[in-house]
C-alpha cells in the first residue's frame, strides 16, 4: 500500500473535494453496523472449482497489483487523474472510500498471505476486476492479462462485492426516495 492510500485510510486526505454523496457514503458504515454484523458475508462460496488434473498457472499476482498502483495510485502515477475517472467511472477518492467500506465489512477484500508468506490478491485488484465487469460488461476471462486474476476468483470476488455493497449501501441507495431526495431532484431540474 502506498503513502496516498495509507493517508486516505487514516483519514489524512483533502475532504474539501468530497461531494455530499461521498460524505454520505463514508458515514453510512456507522449507521449500518448492527445490520451488517448479523449478515454472513464471509461465508465460502458453494462453488467448488478444484478438480484433479487441473493445471496451476502462476499469474504473478504481485505484478498485477504493482501495475495497478503504478498506473493510478503512487505519487508519480502513469495516468493522469482524469484517466482514473474515465477508466473507473468515478473519482479516485470515491473508489478508495468504497474499498475502505467493504474492507470494514468483508475480510475477503483484505490482502492476506498464504502459507509460504506470499501475498494474495489485494483489495484493489479484486475491486478493479469487479468494476471492470460491472461497468464495461467485460467477460471474466478478459481481465486476467492486466489484473492477473483467474476466472473462478473473479466470480467469487464479484459475488462477495455485490453482497457487501448491498448490505452497506442498501438503506440509502436501494430505498424509496424521501422528501429530502425529492427536493434535491427538483433543485437539479431548475
Q: What is the predicted pLDDT for the residue at 34? A: 42
Could you tell me which residue, 172 or 189, shows the higher pLDDT?
Answer: 172
Encode pLDDT of 47-106 as tens digits.
555 555 666 666 666 777 777 778 888 788 788 888 888 888 889 889 999 999 999 999
> What is the arithmetic mean of pLDDT over 107-111?
89
Is 184 inside a domain boundary?
yes
Is 147 inside a domain boundary?
yes
Encode pLDDT of 39-48 as tens digits.
555 555 555 5
Is 6 inside a domain boundary?
no
Is 77 inside a domain boundary?
yes
Is 90 inside a domain boundary?
yes
Is 49 inside a domain boundary?
no
Number of domains the chain is built from: 1
Q: Express as a percent the part of the chain with pLDDT over 70.
A: 65
Is 1 inside a domain boundary?
no
β-bridge mates for residue 119, sequence order: 113
140: Cα within 13 Å, side-chain hemisphere: 12
Is 7 inside a domain boundary?
no
By C-alpha distance, which of 171, 43, 64, 27 is closest to 107?
43
Q: Which domain holds residue 79?
A: 57-189
Amino acid at each position: 500500500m502506498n503513502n496516498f492510500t495509507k493517508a486516505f485510510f487514516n483519514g489524512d486526505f483533502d475532504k474539501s473535494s468530497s461531494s455530499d454523496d461521498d460524505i454520505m457514503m463514508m458515514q453510512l458504515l456507522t449507521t449500518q453496523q448492527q445490520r451488517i454484523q448479523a449478515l454472513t458475508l464471509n461465508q465460502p462460496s458453494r462453488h467448488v472449482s478444484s478438480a484433479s488434473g487441473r493445471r496451476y498457472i502462476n499469474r504473478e499476482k504481485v505484478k498485477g497489483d504493482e501495475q495497478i498502483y503504478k498506473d493510478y495510485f503512487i505519487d508519480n502515477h502513469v495516468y493522469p487523474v482524469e484517466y482514473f475517472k474515465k477508466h473507473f467511472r468515478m473519482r479516485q477518492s470515491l473508489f478508495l472510500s468504497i474499498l475502505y467500506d467493504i474492507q470494514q465489512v468483508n475480510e475477503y477484500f483484505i490482502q492476506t498471505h498464504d502459507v509460504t508468506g506470499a501475498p494474495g490478491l489485494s483489495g484493489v485488484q479484486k475491486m478493479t476486476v469487479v468494476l471492470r465487469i460491472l461497468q464495461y460488461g467485460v467477460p471474466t476471462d478478459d481481465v486476467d492479462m492486466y489484473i492477473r486474476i483467474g476466472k473462478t476468483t473473479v466470480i467469487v470476488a464479484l459475488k462477495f462485492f455485490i453482497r457487501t455493497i448491498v448490505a452497506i449501501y442498501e438503506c440509502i441507495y436501494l430505498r424509496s426516495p424521501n422528501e429530502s431526495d425529492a427536493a434535491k431532484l427538483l433543485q437539479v431540474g431548475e
